[in-house]
Structure 1
Amino acid sequence: MSDTGSYNAVTWLLDRNVDEGRASKLAFTDTVSELTYGDLQKQSRRVANMLRRLGVRREERVAMIMLDTTDFPAVFLGAIRAGIVPVPLNTLLTSDQYAYVLADCRARVLFISEALLPVVKDMVGRLSDLDHVVVCGNDAHGFKKLSDELAGESDSFVTVPTHADEPAFWLYSSGSTGMPKGVRHLHSNLAATAETYASQVLGIREDDVCLSAAKLFFAYGLGNALTFPMSVGATTVLNSERPTPATMFALMNKYNPSIFFGVPTLFSAMLHDEALKHERGGTRLRICTSAGEALPESVGNAWKARFGVDILDGVGSTELLHIFLSNSPDDIKYGTSGRPVPGYKVRLVNEAGAEVSDGEVGELLVDAPSAGEGYWNQRSKSRRTFEGHWTRTGDKYVRDAEGRYTFCGRSDDMFKVSGIWVSPFEVESALITHPAVLEAAVVPEADPEGLLKPKAFVVLRADAKTQGLQEALKEHVQQKIGVWKYPRWIEVVDALPKTATGKIQRFKLRDGAR
């Protein structure tokens, strides 16, 4: 891709597939409707024409609060085709969060699924920049209806000659400890993730059928279900429902995917759901991936034993768009995040900014071809995160002598016991290997002398026996990972607080533990 001249991501991602003879190939299905690559090209052109008719200009933003249906890729790609910036938003936010984000990005148009309309219906009239609300569904409830708006539009449109370094879309960070931050991604970033991770690690093929538990509004889900399959002309099964074990197994049985993209909590839940213990996940499944949080070694091994396929555990971020550290099909070591994805450089630094040696804990920095341009309207946070070629991830890692990286925790989750760093994830991974424990989260708690020690919150399995369990768990951790790392206090809870991506919100547990 040239650094000069025009480049529109839709030309490479979509139009190329039609030009190469895949117009009749199934691109997306959502169990209700289907889109071939040819259909999607026409529908995206109609969306582009509609946005132009509604008065939206190049570089202006349109927000998307949309479930994963075939409408999503049509709107997302149609906006990019017109040089307009789509902003997919988490479908699980509150009214206050939506009000903040819609005002922050100054969206001119809001595309929203009918089922999600009640959350924003009463506040959209108070947003000065928002001119139109377009509802995807059967009843627009007084707003514009997407199908009606597109019905009269032409399927011819001259794609806007954008630049490779021009913002193509924004993604908002999860905002687990505050309001979300808008990350501006460029037209070149989509291809950057496909040509590195998808091609060189995942080995995605044209005959693949992809199923992602992570939704399209997440960076991880956008790559899994849109960028990667479209990069090779593959097919994606979209899921508009919550990704429960029952839902995912039903889709696997119906569509027989070859690649399943999950997250650690879902893999664990699918393994331990008693009602689904005989499910096999289809006959074509050849590989799975995991991101969002580090995959415990016990979960990876159990999945491989039951389904006969590996999980490629990796780590990515909204800022870097997809996975930059990963295990690969011929190089898997469960319990680690693997090695740098080809095309990415990483380093570990201490608090002073000096690089650390093998075996030492450091913060992970990444030099990525897919890095965002920065945060919208947050200069100080942009400068702290995006440092020239390098992006600070906020993750603590340790590198072994073979060049593999093992996750230790978020920088604000790590703490020292007796002067030695303790990784919450390491303690949690030890706890869940006990047969009574389903999930665990570890945070620091001050003892009577004011010294920090590990405190664990655990979710027990349905058949767990509680008599003598606390002491048994403490001894179990001591034997697994070391005497000083065991949790001094253990609290049994019904559920752990999590983000929509399945990440444990340890800060909520820390706030309640002190």
Structure 2
Amino acid sequence: MQIGPNTSTLIDGWLESGRGSDTVLITADDRSWTADELYHAVCNVAARLVDAGAGRGDRILMVQDDTPAFPAVFLGAMRIGAVPIPVNFLARPDDFGYFLDDSEAVAAVVDHVFLEIVGPQVAARPQVKLIVANGEAPTGAESLDEWMISDAGEVSPVSTQPDDMAFWLYSSGSTGLPKGVVHRHSAIAATCVHYAVPVLGIGPEDVAFSTTKMFHAYGLGNNLSFPLWSGATSVYLTGRPTPDRALDRVRAHRPSLLFSVPALYNGMLSDPGFDAVDWSAVRLGISAAEPLPPEIWRQFHDRTGIEILDGIGSTEMLHIYVSNRAGAVKPGTSGTPVDGYEVEIYDTEGEVAASGEPGEMWVRGPSRLSTYWNQPERSSDKIRGDWFLSGDRYQKDEDGYYTYLGRIDDMMKIGGLWVSPIEIENRLMEHEAVHEAAVVSVNIDNRSRIKAAVILNDGYEGGEDLTAELQQWCKAALQRYQFPHVVDYVDDFPRTATGKIQRFKLRD
């Protein structure tokens, strides 16, 4: 399929080819949506956004789970030249205020279930219009549900250029507050042309199911871009993607493409109902967000016969740019570069590393971010000409496969989400018992977990009760996944001559 410069035309081609009524693009909990139905919802939302005063360049914050309302808003905003910004609906209340202020959003589309957390942040900013999805809108707010079923007629996409700003995604990056990652209108098509079609072979006969949400770059491609491009059906899962719920979707909808992350693949393998599932419809598994341990790959393959294609992508590059291929998987690696993308390994001196030597992966390709919003220093640090500096430490083997060695800056990825050790350390050290803390990521039963090494103040003793107390202490102030799964009580840390903690030794 070809699309115009405006990304919202992803859906138009199915109507132009006469297949609007027979191409089922979405299967949600209660119904299926054809291309024709989604097209009209997109146009309705676009028209009502204009009525609400939104226009070219205006930012629209999206706090939405995976329902048909998500693509209706995402594509509807771009259709009028506005800029949709999906964000993590599990963020802390203050983060939503930051998103609104940093983006200077004129409107926020919020699922009704998230109103209690997000609503006060919007109310504190009277210049932001509140639009409520998937539930009743309170007084003074607009109803997206009513917008989607209105009769606005066809809305032509505004004229845009491939390099025009299309949408943002927020990335926590390595330090500080989340960063707005600005993507162009050409980016989504690039991920489809270079990855989805040649690597996955996705087509109209496929049914895709992703456990990763669409606010995440990986989930956005899996659940929105790739199916809309190819005419495949996307199976949505609203709510927490637990292993049992993921298996239920596989049973009920028999996807041919299963997109997930290592923690959930491992969770599904451990579920008592795993072997009772009929896996015959699934032709490929896809994994990203964190490296897939080879033992999980082998167990999944041995029990289902399905290959999982592990790969590396990022918010900044929008989707996977190094991937394993069907029939040529090397477990424990991220694979080889996707056609259209180039990668190089650079050493600490900023020179291309010698063959086989580890270093930071640099990547360039057609889906690279244009900039970090209002972050000129970070943009200049991470974007060098056409290259993006990934911050990931890699090594290339003799077969051209790339193996992930960890983050350059010691950031941790837990369940596909970036976790800052500094935030957890600072929170732990606010506890009266803790003198000093150092946090690292460790592998426990083939899952990435958080380990805290803690030096206690005099008069305190480590034990199970204190560990539980420290875990709850972190959960009370941080995000639900930002707590140490393991706490080691130590007398001191391994340090350099200057006193700097040698974190890599704490991982042993």
- The bucket for the TM-score relative to the shorter chain is 0.7 to 0.9
Counterpart of 2:108 in structure 1 is 110
Question: CA 1:177/1:239 → structure 2, altered by over 3 Å: closer, same or farther?
Answer: farther
CA distance in 2, matches of 1:53, 1:153: 13
TM (normalized to structure 2)?
A: 0.82
Alignment CA distance shift 1:362-1:188 (3 Å): same
The worse-fitting range, judged by mean Cα deviation, of 237-246 and 119-128 is 119-128
Structure 2: distance between partners of 1:323 and 1:281 = 28
**Structure 1 segment 138-153 matched on structure 2, within 5 A:** 138-142=135-139, 143-153=141-151
The aligned counterpart of 1:439 is 447
Classify 1:229/1:406 alpha carbon distance in 2 versus 1 (closer, same or farther; 3 Å): same
The 1:351–1:188 alpha-carbon spacing in structure 2 relative to 1, beyond 3 Å, is same
User: How big is the alpha-carbon RMSD for the aligned residues of Structure 1 and Structure 2?
Assistant: 3.2
1:446-487: CA deviation from partner (whole Å, max 9, x where unpaired): 99xxxxxxxxxxxxxxxxxxxxxxxxxxxxxxxxxxxxxxxx
Per mean C-alpha deviation after superposition, the further-off stretch among 153-162 and 402-411 is 153-162
Within the candidate set 23, 30, 33, 2:31 is matched to 33
Q: Which runs of 5+ in 1 are unaligned?
A: 415-426, 448-490
Change (3 A) 1:133 1:258: same
User: Structure 1 residues 315, 506: closer, same or farther in 2, change over 3 A?
Assistant: farther
Other-structure match for 1:74: 72
Q: Which of the residues 285, 295, 298 maps onto 2:282? A: 285
Q: CA deviation at 1:135?
A: 0.7
Which residue among 369, 373, 376 is the counterpart of 1:372? 369
- Provide, for residues 251-278 of structure 1, a one-character-per-residue CA deviation record: whole Å limited to 9, x for no partner: 11111100000001110111112x3243
Shift of 1:502: 12
- Find the counterpart in structure 2 of residue 347 from structure 1: 344
**Which among 385, 388, 392 is matched to residue 389 of structure 2?**
392
2:500 is matched with which residue? none
**Residue equivalent to 1:465:** none
Report the Cα offset of residue 150 of structure 1.
4.1
Q: Distance in 2 between matches of 1:352 and 1:445?
A: 31
Instruction: Determine what percentage of the aligned residue pairs are the same residue.
Output: 38
User: 1:381 maps to which residue?
Assistant: 378
Q: Answer whether contact 1:113 1:137 (CA < 8 A) is retained.
A: yes
Contact 1:22/1:233 (<8 A) preserved: no
Partner of 2:358: 361
Going from structure 1 to structure 2, the CA distance change for 1:137 and 1:444 (only over 3 Å counts) comes to closer
Q: Is the 8 A contact 1:292 1:502 kept in 2?
A: no
Give 1:364 deviation, angstroms. 0.2
Q: Aligned in 2, Cα 1:174/1:505: closer, same or farther, shift over 3 Å?
A: farther
Change (3 A) 1:358 1:503: farther
Compared CA separation, residues 277 and 208, structure 1 to 2 (3 A): closer
Correspondence list, 1:168-183, <5 A: 168-174=166-172, 177-183=175-181
Distance in 2 of aligned mates of 1:295 and 1:504: 21
State whether residues 300 and 311 of structure 1, in contact with CA within 8 Å, keep that contact through their aligned partners in structure 2.
yes
- The SS at the match of 2:371 is coil
Give the Å deviation of 1:147: 2.1
Task: Report the alpha carbon displacement of residue 280 of structure 1 after superposing the two structures with TM.
Answer: 2.4
Measured after TM superposition, the shift of residue 138 of structure 1 is: 2.8
Q: Deviations over 1:318-362 (max 9, x none)?
A: 000000111010210000001001110000001111111222110
Alignment of 1:10-29 (within 5 A): 10-11=8-9, 13-24=10-21, 25-29=23-27
**For residues 224 and 362 of structure 1, do their structure 2 counterparts lie closer, same or farther at Cα, with a shift above 3 Å needed?**
same
- 1:250 pairs, out of 248, 251, 255, with 248
Which whole-Å CA distance do the structure 1 matches of 2:403 and 2:203 have between them?
Answer: 29
1:292-303 to 2 correspondence within 5 Å? 292-303=289-300
Q: SS state of the match for residue 326, structure 2? A: coil
* Separation in 1, partners of 2:350, 2:483: 27
Query: Residue 121 of structure 1: which of 119, 122, 128 is its match?
Result: 119
CA contact (8 A) 1:103 1:129 kept: no
For 2:12, what is the secondary structure of its paired residue? helix
In 1: Cα distance, 2:263 partner to 2:317 partner: 22
Deviations 1:55-110 (A, max 9, x none): 11111111110110011111111111111111011110011000001111111111
1:352-407 Cα shifts (integer Å, max 9, x gaps): 11111222110000011100111100100011111111000000000011111000
The CA deviation string for residues 137-162 of structure 1, in whole angstroms up to 9 with x for no partner, is 23213222112234444121121111
Aligned with 1:127: secondary structure?
coil
Task: Work out whether residues 325 and 341 of structure 1, in 8 Å CA contact, stay in contact via their aligned partners in 2.
Answer: yes
Whether the aligned pair in 1 keeps the contact of 2:454 and 2:487 (CA below 8 Å) is no
1:401 maps to 2:371 = no
Supply the distance in 2 between the matched residues of 1:367 and 1:91 (Cα, whole angstroms): 30
Separation in 2 of the partners of 1:440 and 1:60?
Answer: 39
Contact map agreement 2:26 2:34 (CA 8 A) in 1: yes
Q: 2:316 matched to 1:319? A: yes
Question: What's the counterpart of residue 423 of structure 2?
Answer: none
Given the superposition, is the C-alpha separation of residues 90 and 353 from structure 1 closer, same or farther in structure 2, using an over 3 Å criterion?
Answer: same
Residues 355 and 83 of structure 1: CA distance in aligned 2, closer, same or farther (over 3 Å): same
Q: Is the Cα contact below 8 Å between 2:83 and 2:168 reproduced in 1?
A: yes
Q: Report the Cα distance in structure 1 between the residues aligned to 2:254 and 2:479, rounded to whole angstroms.
A: 24
Taking a change above 3 Å as real, the CA distance of residues 160 and 303 of structure 1, as seen in their structure-2 partners, is same
SS at match of 2:186: helix
**Partner Cα separation in structure 2 for residue 508 and residue 372 of structure 1:** 36
User: CA distance change for structure 1 residues 211 and 408 in 2, over 3 Å: closer, same or farther?
Assistant: same
Question: Which of the residues 261, 267, 270 maps onto 2:259?
Answer: 261
Contact 1:34 1:70 in 2 (8 A): no
Residue type of the alignment partner of 1:29: T
| Structure 1 counterpart SS, 2:251 | helix
Relative to 1, partners in 2 of residues 1:438 and 1:187: Cα closer, same or farther, differing over 3 Å? Answer: closer
The alpha-carbon deviation at position 282 of structure 1 amounts to 3.7
Q: Residue type of the partner of 1:76? A: F
> What displacement does 1:231 show?
1.2
User: Would you say 1:213 and 2:211 are equivalent positions?
Assistant: yes
SS in 2 for 1:306: helix
Q: Is the 8 A contact 1:413 1:506 kept in 2?
A: no
Q: In structure 1, how many angstroms separate the alpha carbons of the residues matched to 2:480 and 2:201?
A: 26
Q: 1:365 to 1:128 in 2, by over 3 A?
A: farther
Distance 2:28 2:366 in 1: 31
* Equivalent in the alignment of 1:240: 238
Query: TM-score of the superposition, structure 1-length normalised?
Result: 0.81
Partner of 2:199: 201
Distance 1:166-1:114 versus aligned 2 partners, 3 A rule: same
- Letter matched to residue 207 of structure 1: E
Say if 1:440 and 1:209 are closer, same or farther in 2 by CA, change over 3 A. Answer: closer
1:196 positional shift: 0.6
Cα drift, residue 168 of structure 1: 0.8
Q: What's the CA shift for 1:10?
A: 1.9
The CA deviation at 1:206 is 1.2
Going from structure 1 to structure 2, the CA distance change for 1:213 and 1:281 (only over 3 Å counts) comes to: farther
Structure 1 residues 179 and 505: CA distance shift in structure 2, 3 A: farther
Tell me by how many angstroms 1:241 deviates: 1.5
